[in-house]
Amino acid sequence: MREIKKLRYNNPMENNLNQEIIEHLMHPKNYGPLDNPTGVGVGHSEQTGEFVIFYLRSQNNRLEAVTYATNGCQDTVVFGSMFTEMIQGETFEYAQKAAQKLHQKVMEGSPKQQACATMVLQSFEAAKIHEERQKQGFDEELHTIEIGMDCEVEE
Amino acid sequence: MTHNTLFQAKHQLWLKIAFASFALNDPRIKSRLYEFSQIEFRHLKWLAQSLYEENTPYDYERDPHFSIENETSFGLINHLLQAIQTVHLSYPDTPLCERMHHDEEYIVHTLNAYLTTTNDERITAFNRSRIWCEGTLNEVETDALTLFLFEELYKEYELIMVYFYQHIRATTPAQVTHFQDLIDESHFHLRSFGEMMAQLGILSLPRTLHPRTYQITDREKFLKGGIVEEENAKEECKKLSSAIGDEKLSAFFEFINFQESYHIEIMKKLLKEL
């Protein structure tokens, strides 16, 4: 498997803002609903009402298109923007590895940042589960994973 | 053009004119454009009311390529002119659309006058410089202010549109008044934060609202969540106010913080109305 291209990016969980992060804040990549998705997943915090909704469209084990939307904070926006940019056009295996790598990386960040990243990654998981269930014949609009952490966590 | 497409176009036009007013430097043009944006917002309200009364669905979807970034003032003004002309082509023959058309004819007239009576200026609102011209901020303060503004600009836009959705569906005169108050307050905050972002060169449109954000069925839960959110916003204002050494900025965030306190009171009144 190729090296995870995410490593090209600066860590979104760093505390200083660089131009790349500013760009993601000003123009989040892959933002908004996706036409004809094959999987739609939601990471949701009941406690705060925050959510990330993740859309994916795959063919032959490749993520043709991925998008997301959120009502969460800016860390969530930047993380979603970077993560979707990173896995767009890649295989599921690649995306899985990338998600694991990112998860390890964010565990070095603050609890708030960990919560934001977890919400994005869990919404991707939920989208994959939804796609799988669709293939099994379940007729569901989306799949939701409830998340205990929220990004209002005090640092 | 369907009713919903017209609603979406008008929603974008309101945002375009408001954000153009934040972006431009000339105080006279800025202020006039902001007034025009408020007229556009009223159009949007009337349109939403008529769609709601007709039982016609509408949403807050926006064109994914929708942008306001321009390098010059004339470029931005021409962009607005083009947007208004496009909307005009889609107005059906109704008294409301006639009114909207007339208002926008005057806006077009005013914008054209700016093209002939003012000088074309370079716009710095989108240059990502992150230099605060009204005082000295160190890197940590600039980062804190930047993050706060991105966060709050989106939140104020979200609040305007969520309250707007509820306002259209209000069932008592008190609800109408309270939701209108909350909308007006958030307009002021949106403008303040937008203008600060323009000064820092990081002005950008708030991201599109997902229907899950504003299509609220449980109003009580929404209001209770809103109170918690306002309390969080107060905390963020307080944190920023104490983190920033600049006296003028610090005083401004204290002022915003105090306003959030009254929003909580309005929401409590709304809760009693349920």
Would you state the pLDDT for residue A7? 35
Mutation choice for B interface testing from A17, A20, A110 by most B CBs within 10 A: A17
For residue A13, the model assigns a pLDDT of 43
For testing contact with chain A, the best of B151, B165, B223 (most A CBs within 10 A): B151
Q: How confident is the model at residue A58 (pLDDT cuts 50, 70, 90)?
A: very high
> How many whole angstroms separate alpha carbon B100 and alpha carbon B103?
5
Residue in chain A nearest B216 by alpha carbon: A49
Mean pLDDT over A27-47 rounds to: 95
Which one, of B49, B252, B2, lies nearest residue B145 by Cα? B252
CB contact under 8 A, B207 and A15: no
The CA angle B252-B254-B256, to the nearest 5 degrees, is 70
Inspect the interface and report whether the beta carbons of B212 and A32 lie closer than 8 Å. Answer: no
Block residue for tokens 């600066």: A10
Least confident of A40-44, B21-25, B33-37, B260-264: B260-264
Query: For residue B93, what pLDDT is reported?
Result: 93
Interface test with A, best of B130, B207, B236 (most A CBs within 10 A): B207
- Higher-pLDDT residue of B232 and A8 is B232
CB contact under 8 A, A74 and B147: yes
Exposure string over A29-67, b if 16+ CB within 10 A, otherwise e: bbbbbbeebbbbbbbbbeebbbbbbbbbbbeeeebebbb
Distance CA(B134)–CA(B50), nearest Å, equals 44
A150 pLDDT tier (thresholds 50, 70, 90):
low
Q: How far apart are CA B141 and CA B189, in angstroms?
A: 20
Provide the shortest C-alpha distance from residue B109 to chain A (in Å). 32
Domain boundaries, chain A: 24-146
Contact call for residues A54 and A41 (beta carbons, < 8 A): yes
Tens of pLDDT, residues B217-270? 889 988 998 898 888 888 888 888 888 888 888 889 889 888 888 889 999 999
Using a pLDDT cut of 70, give the percent of chain B over it: 99
Helices and strands: H and E segment counts in chain B: 9, 0
Q: Stretch A17-35: mean pLDDT, rounded?
A: 94
Rounded alpha-carbon distances, angstroms, from residue B73 to B78, B95, B210 = 9, 33, 31
Residues of B in Cβ contact (< 8 Å) with A19: 128
Instruction: Using pLDDT thresholds of 50, 70 and 90, give the confidence band for residue A149.
Output: low
Count other C-beta atoms under 10 Å from residue A141's C-beta: 8
Give CA angle at A43 (A38, A45), nearest 5°. 155
B61 and B10 in contact (C-beta within 8 Å)? no
How confident is the prediction for chain A on average, in pLDDT? 87
CB of A71 within 8 Å of any CB in chain B? Answer: yes
Place of tokens 């990471």: A43
Identity of the amino acid at B206: P
Residues B151-168: tens digit of each pLDDT: 999 999 999 999 999 999
Which bin fits A60, alpha (ψ -120 to 50), beta or left (φ > 0)?
left
Q: Do B204 and A152 touch (CB under 8 A)?
A: no
In chain B, the percentage of residues whose pLDDT exceeds 90 is 78
Alpha carbons A71 and A151: distance in angstroms, whole number: 11
The pLDDT of residue B1 is 57
pLDDT bucket at A152, cuts 50 / 70 / 90: low
Q: Which amino acid is at B112?
A: N
- Tell if the CB–CB gap between B207 and A77 is shorter than 8 Å: yes
Q: Hey, are the CB atoms on A22 and B146 less than 8 Å from each other?
A: yes
A146 to chain B nearest CA, in Å?
15
Touching check for A14 and chain B: CB below 8 Å? no
Q: Please tell me the class of the A24-146 domain.
A: alpha beta
Task: Name all domains of chain B by residue range, CATH numbers in brackets.
Answer: 1-123 (1.20.1260.10), 124-274 (1.20.1260.10)
Average pLDDT rounded to a whole number, residues B125-143:
91
Per-residue model confidence as pLDDT tens digits over A75-114: 999 999 999 999 999 999 999 999 998 888 888 888 888 8
Interface of B with A (CB under 8 A): 64, 128, 130, 139, 143, 146-147, 150-151, 154, 158, 202, 204, 207-210, 212-213, 221, 225, 228, 232
**Mean pLDDT within B189-199:** 97
Element (H, E) at B95: helix B95-117
Instruction: Say yes or no to pLDDT of B69 above 90.
Output: yes
Of A143, A152, A151, A146, nearest to A80 by C-alpha is: A151
**Percentage, residues of chain A above pLDDT 70:** 85
What average pLDDT does the segment A30-51 reach?
Answer: 93
Is A31 within 8 Å of chain B by CB? Answer: yes
| pLDDT greater than 60 at residue A34 | yes
pLDDT of residue B63: 92
- Report, as an integer, the average pLDDT of B171-188: 95
What is the per-residue pLDDT across B96-107, written as a single tens digit (0 to 9) for each?
999 999 999 999
Q: What is the C-alpha to C-alpha distance for residues A68 and A80, in angstroms, rounded to an integer? A: 7
Q: What is the pLDDT of residue A1?
A: 46
- DSSP codes of every residue in B127-163: S-----TTS---HHHHHHHHHHHHHHHHHHHHHHHHH
CA distances from residue B147 to B110, B142, B169 in whole angstroms, order as listed: 35, 9, 33
- Total-model pTM: 0.92
pLDDT at A155 over 70: no
Out of A19, A32, A51, the one facing B208 most closely (by C-beta) is A32
Chain position carrying tokens 């600060």: B196
Q: Which amino acid is at A92?
A: F
Do B225 and B121 meet the contact criterion of CB atoms below 8 Å apart?
A: no
Helix (H, G, I), strand (E, B) or coil at A23: helix
Three-state DSSP class for A40?
Answer: strand
- In three-state secondary structure terms, A2 is coil
Residue-wise pLDDT tens digits, B195-230: 999 999 999 999 999 999 999 988 998 899 889 888
Beta pairing class for A39-44 and A143-146: parallel
Task: Say how many C-beta atoms besides its own lie within 10 A of residue A16's C-beta.
Answer: 9
Please say if the pLDDT value at position A55 is more than 80: yes
Instruction: Give CA–CA dist A148/A46, Å, rounded.
Output: 8
Alpha carbon separation from B107 to A2, B42, B80, B110, B123 (Å, rounded): 55, 15, 10, 5, 21
Rounded mean pLDDT of chain B? 93
Closest CA to B227 of B261, B256, B273: B261
What is the SS3 assignment for A69? strand
Q: What are the beta bridge partners of residue A43?
A: A52, A145
Distance CA B139, CA B145 (A): 10
